[in-house]
Amino acid sequence: MNFRFLDRLQPLALLVLRVVLGVIMTVYGYHKVFGGMHKHVAFVASMGMPGWLGYVSAFTELLGGILLVLGLFTRLSALAVCVNMLVAVFKVELNHGLINGYEFPLALAAMAFALIFLGSGAISIDWVMGNTGGIARK
């Protein structure tokens, strides 16, 4: 069966991918930035990393999520989110196993990874500004 007709819906698929990832990241970042920054920084420091990386992590989630929802600087935002989630997988969740452990941050990292290479698509600010976001204009 030929599903090439679905190619016309790629911009919609990228919009859904971006918005879902962006909303999740924004919510997680919002709670860290406005409700528990000192706890997050202390947690990061307790893992043997510099405490200031807690600020980087929290603001990456908040601002990266907002930029993903908007489709603005999508590839850069997705790269930052992907790195952030991979750190969460390998430094925080790996010893908990796949189930109820690292499956969620791994899925978020995979979503971000896809956006790094696919870009934002036609339904985005990147596209309006002339950056095709990885998908060629026709």
User: Which pTM was predicted?
Assistant: 0.90
Q: Which residues contact 19 (CB under 8 A, 6 or more apart)?
A: 68, 69
pLDDT of residue 48: 93
Sign of CA dihedral 55, 60, 61, 65: positive
Residue 138's pLDDT band (cuts 50, 70, 90): very low
Q: Which residues contact 117 (CB under 8 A, 6 or more apart)?
A: 134
Instruction: Write out pLDDT tens, residues 5-49.
Output: 898 999 999 999 999 999 999 999 999 999 989 999 999 999 999
Q: Are 36 and 61 in contact (CB under 8 A)?
A: no
Instruction: Write out pLDDT tens, residues 53-105.
Output: 999 999 999 999 999 999 999 999 999 999 999 999 999 988 888 888 899 99
| Residue 125 to residue 54: CA distance in whole angstroms | 29
Query: Any idea which residue has 């190619």 for tokens?
Result: 7
| Residue 36 to residue 54: CA distance in whole angstroms | 11
- Paired tokens of 59: 């603001």
Residue 1's pLDDT band (cuts 50, 70, 90): confident
